[in-house]
Structure 1
Amino acid sequence: MQIQTFIDQLHSRLSQLISWFTLAMVLLTLLIVILRYGFNMGWIAMQESVMYLHAAVFMLGAAYTLKVDQHVRVDVFYRNFSTKTKALTNLMGTLLLLMPVNIFILVISWQYVMNSWELLEGSPEAGGLPLVFVLKSLILLFSISLCLQGLAEIIRNALLFKSSGEPS
């Protein structure tokens, strides 16, 4: 199995798990609203759990979004490019923008997350979740997963560029 296929499959499976987070987030939000306005009850931990799920959906779903080519792109020119030129553009964008930015995020946030783990940082709110260190770990998982998917994109686009017979 090629490495890009393995990375693609990993992110596809991760996205299936994350899709359940979205359902849980919607149901929890509904429950919060019903309890709050119907019964005048509320729990900070329940509200924070929606925030944690929301963060997980976006932070862990970013690599899958890149995999399926649904990320934000200003394609004024891109849509008219040949397959070979698109592959080269994607390759250069990944090498010069995606990878350096995510490696920077990984390096700069490492100590921040490790400090949180050392403290087993919890919510500053009374009754909040004692898992802020887990929430902050999503920053590292975000950059690692995007770097992995970036590697898959580099391989895929390099092969596409090499094999494309079209003129650029």
Structure 2
Amino acid sequence: MNKLQSLAALIDAFNHAIGRSAAWLALAMVLVQFAVVVLRYVFGIGSIMMQEAIVYMHGVLFMMTAADTLLQDEHVRVDIFYARAAEQRKALINLLGCAFFVLPFCILIAYVSLDYVSMSWSVREGSRETSGIQGVFLLKSVILLFAAQLSLQAISGILTNAGKLMRSERG
């Protein structure tokens, strides 16, 4: 395995570990939501912080599992032509998709959200509710982490599919 393929494998392992870890937030969301309902309707106790925690977990869940979803090739795609394509054509489509769609999208997301996140950090933005989570700036930072992580996975996809194309030309 050459150095570029090793780099792709390292990125894949990194994103898979983050994705697998973040996926546990789905269970946490269910448990916290159950607790919110029980506290509210059985004991008459409301918790803004717990309700906001569900929103935070939901955001982190989707943002931090996106790269692993791309790695597993589980994103929605129109498979009209792709499903019947040869492996070499699939590799080319994936390479072009990562290079001309995913990577530019991530760069745009990072560029557009940089001021948004920076402003939030500069004032240590918190919840509008006094009993809410006072870490909105941390949640907004996940946008940049999402863009970075998905960019890395796009780079891995480019390297992996370029390797497939080169191997198919040689062999």
Same fold (TM > 0.5): yes
Q: Determine helix, strand or coil for the equivalent of 1:123.
A: coil
> 1:1-168 to 2 correspondence within 5 Å?
2-164=6-168
Report deviation, 1:142.
Answer: 0.7
Task: State the alpha-carbon separation in 2 of the partners of residues 44 and 148 from structure 1.
Answer: 35
Task: State the alpha-carbon separation in 2 of the partners of residues 164 and 87 from structure 1.
Answer: 10
* Partners of 1:63 and 1:146 within 8 A in 2: yes
Identity of aligned residues (%): 42
Report the residue type matching 1:116 in the other structure. S
Q: Determine helix, strand or coil for the equivalent of 1:124.
A: coil
Unaligned runs of 5+ in 1: none
Task: State the alpha-carbon separation in 1 of the partners of residues 90 and 20 from structure 2.
Answer: 28
Could you say what the CA RMSD is over the residues aligned between the two structures, in angstroms?
1.3
* Partners of 1:83 and 1:164 within 8 A in 2: no
* Partners of 1:121 and 1:131 within 8 A in 2: yes
Task: State the alpha-carbon separation in 1 of the partners of residues 34 and 11 from structure 2.
Answer: 35
Task: State the alpha-carbon separation in 2 of the partners of residues 81 and 155 from structure 1.
Answer: 20
Task: State the alpha-carbon separation in 2 of the partners of residues 10 and 34 from structure 1.
Answer: 37
Report the residue type matching 1:17 in the other structure. S
Unaligned runs of 5+ in 2: none
Task: State the alpha-carbon separation in 2 of the partners of residues 94 and 8 from structure 1.
Answer: 14
Task: State the alpha-carbon separation in 2 of the partners of residues 109 and 53 from structure 1.
Answer: 20
After TM superposition, the score normalised by the length of structure 2 is 0.94
After TM superposition, the score normalised by the length of structure 1 is 0.95
Task: State the alpha-carbon separation in 2 of the partners of residues 101 and 87 from structure 1.
Answer: 20
Report deviation, 1:165.
Answer: 5.1
Q: Determine helix, strand or coil for the equivalent of 1:127.
A: coil
Deviations 1:95-140 (A, max 9, x none): 1111111101101111110110010000012311001001101110
Q: Determine helix, strand or coil for the equivalent of 1:39.
A: coil
Report the residue type matching 2:30 in the other structure. V
Task: State the alpha-carbon separation in 2 of the partners of residues 16 and 142 from structure 1.
Answer: 15
